[in-house]
Amino acid sequence: MAVSGMSAGRSAMRMGPAELVQAAAMARRFYLEGKSKIQIAEEFGVSRFKVARVLETALERDLVRIEIRVPAELDAERSDALRARYGLRHAVVVESPAEAEESPDPENLGEVAADLLGELVNEGDVLGLAWGRSTIHMAAALDRLPPCTVVQLTGVYDAGTAERGSVEAVRRAAQVSGGDAHPIYAPMLLPDAATAAALRHQTGIARAFEYFDKVTVACVSIGSWEPGISTVHDMLSDEERAHYASLGVAAEMSAHLFDAEGRRVGRDLGERCITVEADRLRRIPEVVAIAGGQRKAAAIDAVLRSGLVTSLVTDTSAADALMTAGPPPRPALNRADPDGP
């Protein structure tokens, strides 16, 4: 917000010099010094109604100019439009470099998401982090968090890379916050449901699962159902991919699959996965998804339609596609059942 006290345009010159000086002084008190209209009225010996009229006239006659500014990398107009369309609590759209528009999840999304978590997480919260490249970038960019517990919500893409992936993200977030960390040292996808069930009962993993119902803020990634953009897609066999594709899968989030309308499909896959259940995700007060790029737009739309996500950090490329992606969905904040009617 900028106030130019003596910006004397043609219309402003219709005011006499005494009026200009007084209006500029009142405007400085109100806009720059934060004084109330009553305080200004007492100082100048006039009524608060006179102060209100002077301030209104100052705006009309270009004596005061109000500018709303956000950092250059944030697109406030798209952010607000996207929030309204999907009924989100928060939507933050990041301006990505032109050369990165086709790339999924530009790294600067993680930096903005880290700042958003700094706003959303309060002391004593339980922060949940799911596997994903964007959440790993977010954790690496964290520089402030109030004291909170950090728990891993999914297994890892490859147990051999745990130290460089979501386990390290959980440790990093806990280090920044000064809270406890509860990582999961297990693959996300197991060969069968029995192996997954046995792992869930192991001490360390069971301890992490005990925190799932306590999570107050969660951070998740979204994947399109195609090579290199969905972790789960890449872990399955060709036969399994074809099977789930036949069910109409359009998106994946934390090993949960969704069709284009946001309905969960292929729920049998979840039985083989180490991941937070969809109904638990739905009960988390704040679920922030980090996903961008035009190639992910349809997948983001599908997950937002599920009602599991309350907030989104994305980029202009994905946002433009989302704004024209079919009829407006039901509001996410209703947190509708992701399995549909």
**How do residues 213-238 score in pLDDT, each as one tens digit?**
999 999 999 998 887 777 788 888 88
Instruction: Kindly report, residue by residue over 290-327, the tens digit of the pLDDT.
Output: 999 888 999 999 999 999 999 999 999 999 999 987 77
Same domain, 96 and 37: no
What pLDDT score does 24 carry? 86
127 and 236 together in one domain:
yes
Query: Domain check: are 165 and 282 in the same one?
Result: yes
Please give the model's pTM, rounded to 2 decimal places: 0.75
Domain presence at residue 209 = yes
Note whether 154 and 51 are same-domain residues.
no
- Regarding whether 33 and 98 lie in a shared domain, the answer is no
Owning domain of residue 53: 17-61
248: which residues sit within 8 A by CB, 6+ positions away?
Answer: 259, 260, 265
Residue 340 lies in a domain: no
Amino acid 164: pLDDT:
52
CATH number at residue 49: 1.10.10
Same domain, 51 and 84: no
Calculate the alpha carbon distances from 273 to 109, 135, 174, 192, 211 in Å: 27, 19, 24, 9, 17
Final residue of a domain: which of 8, 35, 61?
61
Q: How far is CA 285 from CA 2, 126, 310, 320, in A?
A: 36, 11, 8, 27
Q: How far apart are CA 297 and CA 85, in angstroms?
A: 14
Examine residue 68 and state whether it is found in any structural domain, yes or no: no
Count structural domains, the chain. Answer: 2
Counting as low any pLDDT under 50, the low residues of the chain are 1-13, 159-163, 338, 340-341
CATH classification of the domain holding 132: 3.40.50.1360
- Is residue 154, in this structure, part of any structural domain at all? yes
Residue 67 has a pLDDT of 65
Residue 91 lies inside a defined structural domain of this protein:
yes
43 falls within a domain: yes
3-state SS, 154-188, equals ECECCHHHHHHCHHHHHHHHHHHHCCCEECCCCEC
**53 and 164 fall within a common domain:** no
- Residue 272 within a domain: yes
Indicate whether 51 and 94 sit together in one domain.
Answer: no
> 55 and 81, same structural domain?
no
Q: Are residues 36 and 185 in the same domain?
A: no
Measuring CA to CA, which residue among 330, 90, 218 is closest to residue 340? 330
Considering the domain architecture, whether residues 198 and 52 belong to the same structural domain is answered as no
Q: Is residue 109 part of a domain?
A: yes
Specify whether 255 is located in the same domain as 286. Answer: yes
